[in-house]
Structure 1
Amino acid sequence: MSLTATGIGSGLDISTIVQVLVDSEKIPKEALFNRTEDQINAKVSAIGTLKSEISKFQDAIEKLQSGELLSQRKVSTGDSQFFTATAGKLAQSGSYSISVERLAQAHKVGGAYAADPKAAIGEGSLDFTVNGNSFSVDIDAADDMYAIASKVNSASDNSGVVATVVKTDLGNRIVFGSEETGVANQISVTATDTSGTGLSDMFNGASLSTLVNPQDSIIYVDGQKLTSSSNTVDDAIAGVTLELTDADINSTSTLKIEQDTDAVKDNIQEFVDSYNNLISSIEKLSSYDVDSEKAAALQGDSMIRSLESQLRKMVSERVTVDGGEIALYDIGISTDRYGKLNVDSTKLEESLTNNMAMIEGLFSTPDTGLANRFDSLADNYVKTGGLIDSRNNSYTEETKRLTLQREAFSLKMEQLESRLLKQFNTMDLIVAQLNQQSAGLVERLNSLPGSISNK
């Protein structure tokens, strides 16, 4: 006799019994899996936070790696419309009177006019010379103005000529302009025909007219004349670049250059703030709360302990600059008992005013400067394939192993449930058979002569 539902023979709720037995083994293990997964996720999140703070710190110290950013200058030109100015680290503080007599111009010449720019011109070659450099362009019989201009512009050895097709009331013409300003960059054009005289008629002799004369710029700095082939003048005042924008010899503008200590101070303060934020983040990510008895995600992690140790060691070290030594505390930056940096504004301003060269060396000396060393340290952690990437890879592998363990355990529980159901159903069938046998025996006993049930 087969059973169509579990528990019919024994009267037991076999499904519930099996579920309870399976859950007694399944639930604790799944809870362990969940705790492990939560721990891995917490570590991944913590590592991401750490990487973000290191990157912010790296952005801040980048501004101290360059001597240019540590020796910034404030430039004032008043309301001058004649030039703009930028000053580098070599620029000395001072005031200069500047007047612009004329701007530099690029040479431009135009060929003869033609009614139809798409008509063929001739066959041969055009030879160009600019500032002693020459190149040649072959012209085919079918080439029109646009084709010739394109060949000139795309010539691999073009030495600085720009060709354009210009339409005017008198017709169309090809204009050749020098890429660079100044008398030295005057353009020379020679046409040579191999068939007919089309090229010579358009570009030789009187056919080629000057549209813009080449000229050098002329300025006066404190009454001293300087001629330049460009409107960008970077040798009139050491460390200063002038961009000429207009000319009037009768107008004089004043250029003032001062050391921009405020900008440098801001960059140093940004470094201090970013360092303190990084230290705070490290402490938070690796802390242990005694009251709640709860550890942070990276508590006890060797990588984060090593980073903190290196950072604290580095801020206390001295750097050799020009035979002398200097450290952060010499310029007003000290470390408190919590490992955070504090800034003595008065001392820092005094150092910026009187000892800028040493401050520049402290931070930006190649290899040994603090900013460069901090950057190398940070890069070891955040670069592709760095320590944080390696740690994330290990977390990924842990997650994969956990997934495989979950799958194997789930299969084991399915097998356990199947086995228990089979065993209980077998027991249920046996009980049902025993009950049937018992009922039959009672019935036969009751049918015997002398049985109480027969009287």
Structure 2
Amino acid sequence: MAISSIGVGSNLPLAELLDNLRTSEESKLTAITTRQKNVDARISAYGQLKNELTNVSTAAKALLEDAFDSMKATVVGSDFTATATTGALAGDYRIKVNTLATTQSLAMTGQASRTEGIGSGGKISFTINGQTKEIDLATTGTSLNDIVGAINGQEDLGVRATILNNGSDAPYQLILSTTKTGTDAAVTSISVSGNTELDTLMKFGSEDSTVTESAASNALLEINGVSISSQSNTVTNVLDGVTLTLKGTSEAGNSLSVSGDSQGVKDAIKTFVDRYNEVLKKVKQVTAFDVENQTMSALTGDSLARKIQTRMGDILNTTSGSGAFSMLSQIGIRTDPISGQLKIDDAVLSKALTEKPVDVQALFRGDSGVAAKAMAITEAFTDAKVGLLVTASEGASKQRKDLDRQYTSAQARIDAQVEIYRKQFAAMDAMVAQMNTTSSYLTQQLSLLGSQKS
């Protein structure tokens, strides 16, 4: 007889037994999955260490390249602000702002309606700094609303439009403003071809124009008595490496001082120390062993993690061949004897940067400086091709793929074995069902035979 589900024919718990056998067989996969999790944790830990070491390298590179060249701008007065880059030259300046740069504004004569078309079609031509750009109104309409939409829809036109309601009988005035300050950005002419009525309203730059102009102006300032003209209120190419942002005109002169940025250098050094400490924290985290619970971390006992810790200590042993300072401890950067991390004595560091900035720079810069040593050490672990962490991570990834193959193979063997069990159970189920049927038949016949004799 056909059996749709094992155990139905024999009334035995064969399905449950088969599930228990599968569970027993799949317990063999536990060792593989445990190893997979351990490898995944190692790969993740290698990645975290690589990121932390990269951060150290970045901080060291800043000290090596431009941190000691950073400049600051100090302004006395409220008529402008200033910023300085590494290309700035130290100096003191007296600055007087006479005129701010402004945009140009053009006001057309008022119209009774902002939605009624003015003529039909046409092309508006704008000339700015010798270049002409056109707007075709053939498909947009010619009302004031249409014209505003068409102008504002072209971001590179150099002009923005709006409508002013002046409250008169013909209140709606089209107002055009240039998007940039200065005379170079001003509109020199406007004309409309193919629409005489609109041309009469908008034409500008000719003697018969009815447009009212509020002219653009350049910023005018004096730096140490020298007159300067600028198209913008952001003045960038007058003092090397210095950007002035003009805010208002001056009744009296303001002062600007450009000098080395010792605070910027201190911040860069603190960043380097913080990044250094983060590496040590991460090494401690991924190699920790929980004595109470007897559990290991991803890289407990890993020789590469210990090597990172050792090599980071080598940075502190860097000695500079020139200058008054040969060790980090001499500028207030010392190792905490308990945590092993670096700590900064702010007073000592500030004094060193104030009194001997060149010597502090020599300690970090140069082929034998702290920054170069830190970059070389971190690169040995993080280099994309031969870095030790990269190589270790690639090896772990290969191991993970091998474990995946082992898992797939083992799973296939278990599935095959369980299928054998299922077929054996199904055969037994059918046989027991047949025996039960035969037994029932015989019992029935014997019962009938007994009743006939009686």
Q: What TM-score bracket applies, with the shorter chain setting the length?
A: 0.5 to 0.7
Aligned position for 1:262 = 263
Q: Over residues 4-61 of structure 1, what are the superposed CA-to-partner deviations in whole Å (9 max), with x where a residue is unaligned?
A: 789xxxxxxx99xx99x979x948x82x633442332233234334434543454465
Amino acid of the structure 2 residue aligned with 1:167 = N
Native 8 Å contact 1:316 1:327 kept in 2? no
Closer, same or farther: CA 288–153 of 1 in aligned 2, 3 Å: closer
Q: Over residues 47-100 of structure 1, what are the superposed CA-to-partner deviations in whole Å (9 max), with x where a residue is unaligned?
A: 33443454345446545545555533343334x331111111122344433222
Closer, same or farther: CA 253–164 of 1 in aligned 2, 3 Å: same
Q: 1:110 deviation in Å?
A: 1.7
Aligned position for 1:34 = 30
Aligned position for 1:182 = 182
CA RMSD after TM alignment: 5.2
Q: How does 1:69-108 map to 2 (within 5 A)?
A: 69-78=67-76, 80-108=77-105
SS at match of 1:237: coil
Aligned position for 1:216 = 218
Native 8 Å contact 1:65 1:372 kept in 2? no
Aligned position for 1:144 = 143
SS at match of 2:248: coil
Closer, same or farther: CA 22–261 of 1 in aligned 2, 3 Å: same
SS at match of 2:94: strand
Select the structure of larger CA radius of gyration. Answer: 1
Native 8 Å contact 1:183 1:216 kept in 2? yes
Q: 1:186 deviation in Å?
A: 2.3
Q: 1:253 deviation in Å?
A: 2.6
Rounded to whole Å, the distance in 1 between the matches of 2:416 and 2:326 is 64
Native 8 Å contact 2:311 2:377 kept in 1? no
Native 8 Å contact 1:37 1:402 kept in 2? no
Q: Over residues 156-179 of structure 1, what are the superposed CA-to-partner deviations in whole Å (9 max), with x where a residue is unaligned?
A: 873x22233333324212222222
Rounded to whole Å, the distance in 1 between the matches of 2:393 and 2:173 is 62
With normalisation by structure 2, the TM-score equals: 0.66
Rounded to whole Å, the distance in 2 between the matches of 1:186 and 1:376 is 58
Aligned position for 1:121 = 118
Q: How does 1:362-401 map to 2 (within 5 A)?
A: 374=378, 378=382, 380=384, 394=398, 397=401, 400-401=404-405
SS at match of 1:380: coil
Aligned position for 2:159 = 161
Rounded to whole Å, the distance in 2 between the matches of 1:4 and 1:342 is 76
Aligned position for 2:200 = 200
Closer, same or farther: CA 162–81 of 1 in aligned 2, 3 Å: same
Structure 2 unaligned spans of 5+: 1-8, 433-454
Aligned position for 2:173 = 173
1:239 aligns with 2:241: yes
Closer, same or farther: CA 378–409 of 1 in aligned 2, 3 Å: same
Native 8 Å contact 2:128 2:189 kept in 1? no
Native 8 Å contact 2:107 2:176 kept in 1? yes
Q: Over residues 339-363 of structure 1, what are the superposed CA-to-partner deviations in whole Å (9 max), with x where a residue is unaligned?
A: x775786579647711577678659
SS at match of 1:173: strand
Count of aligned residue pairs for this structure pair: 400
Native 8 Å contact 2:117 2:143 kept in 1? yes
Aligned position for 2:43 = 47
Closer, same or farther: CA 393–112 of 1 in aligned 2, 3 Å: farther
Closer, same or farther: CA 421–111 of 1 in aligned 2, 3 Å: closer
Q: 1:104 deviation in Å?
A: 0.5
Amino acid of the structure 2 residue aligned with 1:42 = N
Q: 1:302 deviation in Å?
A: 8.4
Rounded to whole Å, the distance in 2 between the matches of 1:133 and 1:264 is 47
Amino acid of the structure 1 residue aligned with 2:237 = D
SS at match of 1:113: coil
Native 8 Å contact 2:106 2:176 kept in 1? yes
Rounded to whole Å, the distance in 2 between the matches of 1:45 and 1:138 is 64
Q: 1:402 deviation in Å?
A: 5.5
SS at match of 2:125: strand
Native 8 Å contact 1:98 1:252 kept in 2? yes
SS at match of 1:146: helix
SS at match of 2:112: coil
Rounded to whole Å, the distance in 1 between the matches of 2:311 and 2:132 is 59
Query: Sequence identity of aligned pairs in percent?
Result: 18
